[in-house]
Amino acid sequence: MKNKTSLPPQEGEARPSRCPDNSAFKQQKLPAWKPQLTIESVLSSFFLIGGFCLSVGVCLILSANSVREIQIDYSDKCSDCSKLRENSSNWNKECHCSVNFMLKEDILGDVFMYYGLQNFYQNHRRYVISRSDAQLLGRNVNIQKSYCAPFTTYRNGTPMAPCGAIANSMFNDTIDLFYNLNSSVIQVPLLKTGNSWWTDKNVKFRNPKSYNLSSAFAGTARPPYWQKPVYLLDEEDERNNGYVNDDFIIWMRVSAFATFRNLYRRIRRIRQFADGLPAGNYTFRISYNFPVTKFKGRKHVILSTVVWSGGSNPFLGIAYVVTGTAATLTGFVITAIHLKLRKKKTYFQK
């Protein structure tokens, strides 16, 4: 029995078509809308976008300028403590310093306290990945297989909790605020919880399950640069300890820039501070633990209010103003070109 083979078409014969059938389904004849770009629609779009961006940008800039903020650089004012901290062998020695300042006007409303770092690069790739998210979820994992190295275990094999370079470099200065009223000194009440994102506090960070935290972290050790184990970060509030500590959670959300600020505390609005911070003399009392001299950094304390658009950062408003200005100028340029070409066309038609 002979196999049938397909012969090539002879000269003059029509080749079979490979095109799909001319049907609505196979040819995808779908309804579509194609805009007709007329000079009226183009110019109106540019001017509307420009006007919208300019109005939003001006509102954002005015809102950012209405934020009350005071920033105190205490890097040089605590120079003695800074020199002490440069020697790592002095890690267990306490050092305190005070910084006085004056508020000329009342800061009304909710007042937030931030700590700011300058020239601290958290955006380095090896630094950013140096953490174990599974460990921070309270799971029993082998951190040797994580990216935490070299901050995984000690020489005796004891694992670090938490592991990684981010956790090891956690900001650990303690800052208290005092109000000097006549001859008395009043400590300003500060809130240390409720400052982190809800998703971080309730989803991304969890403590290991155990009847108490000390047993949950048994068999682990604190990172080398820490002064306390993770289950004693807040000795006043047991619910603010371990991986769910607000200061720790905020630090673990790394910054994209070398100069940044993190929320540290909120002013508790009670007694003399029910309306905010009254004008007068104040003092920051700082337990200095975080060294910055080796990387030529600076440290700040910032007291600030917030508005509907956030803090005192005019970048978004400036971006809107620049975009609106560019769109408006483009509209005027197109208008001038159109009028010039139309004038030439009218002249040649005559």
Give tens-digit pLDDT for 202-261.
999 999 988 888 898 988 999 998 989 999 999 888 899 999 999 999 999 999 999 999
Residue 273 CB coordination number (10 Å): 18
Range name among 158-172, 275-289, 335-349 with the lowest pLDDT average:
335-349
Strands, sheet with 112-118, edge to edge from the N-terminal-most edge strand: 69-73, 298-304, 112-118, 260-267, 190-191
Separation of alpha carbons 328 and 134, rounded Å: 51
What residue numbers bound the domain in which 209 lies?
Answer: 76-107+120-257+279-297
pLDDT, tens digit, for every residue of 23-33?
Answer: 777 777 777 77
pLDDT score, position 345 = 65
Return d(Cα 255, Cα 259) in angstroms, integer: 8
The answer as to whether 63 is a domain residue is no
Residue 302 bridge partners (DSSP): 71, 114
**Does 93 reside within a domain?**
yes
What domain count does the chain have? Answer: 1
Asked if residue 223 is part of any domain, the answer here is: yes
For the chain, the C-alpha Rg in angstroms (whole number) is 32
Residue found under tokens 């790394």: 254
Residue 206 falls inside a structural domain: yes
Q: Residue 304 falls within a domain, yes or no?
A: no
Among residues of the chain, what percentage have pLDDT more than 90?
61
pTM: 0.81
Domain-located, residue 200: yes
Q: How far is CA 260 from CA 12, 122, 176, 330, in A?
A: 78, 10, 21, 36
> What residues contact residue 100 under an 8 Å CB cut-off, 6+ apart?
281, 282, 283
> Is 19 among the domain residues?
no
Whether residue 29 lies inside any domain: the answer is: no
